[in-house]
Amino acid sequence: MATETRDLWHATTILAVRKGDRVVIAGDGQVSFGQTVVKANARKVRRLGDGKVIAGFAGATADAFTLFERLEAKLEQYPGQLTRASVEMAKDWRTDRYLRRLEAMMAVSDKSVSLMLSGTGDVLEPEDGLIGIGSGGNFALAAARALIDRPELDAEAIARRALEIAAGICVFTNTNIVVESL
C-alpha cells in the first residue's frame, strides 16, 4: 500500500528554467489517480508573494494548497527573501507532524533564485538554473539541458518544448502546459 500511495503523488511534470534575465516555471495539466486521468487542465503552477514568486507543485491537490499557503505565509514573514522563507517552510515541513506526512515537491523561483523544496527538509538551488520534478521531471530536465544553449530559444520556449518532449515519454504528463514567468 505504501508503494501504491507513493506512486500516486508524483504523477505530474514541473520544470523551472532560468535563462538570461528570465525565469519560468511550467507544468502540465494532467491529474492522474493511479492509471486513470481524472483531469486534463489542472493548474499546478501559480504566483505567490504579491506576484514576485512563482511556484510549481508535484503532489496531491490538497497537499498543494496546504504547502502553497504555508509558503505564502513565510513569504509574508520574510518579504523579498525567497531562500529564507523556503528554508523556514522546509523546517516546518520536516518537523510538523501533519506536514511531515505530505509526500510532495515544489519548484519555486523569484528574479534571483530557483529552488527545489521537499518534505525531507531539502532546499536545493541547482547550479544550472534548471529544476525538474514529478514523474516526467527528469525527461523535461534532460530536454531543457539539451535546449538551454540554443540562442534562438528563450526560457519560455525551452520550458514549453521540454514539457512537450516529456509528455511524449511520460504517460502521467500531457501537453496542456501552464507557464508563469518573471
Active site residues: 12
Q: Cα separation of 119 and 166, whole Å? A: 24
Exposure string of 117-144, with b = 16+ CB inside 10 Å and e = fewer, is bbbeeebeeeeebbbbbbbbbebbbbbb
Strand partners, 57: 106
Q: Cα separation of 86 and 178, whole Å? A: 23
Dihedral angle computed from the Cα positions of residues 55, 56, 57 and 63, in that order, rounded to the nearest 10 degrees: 40
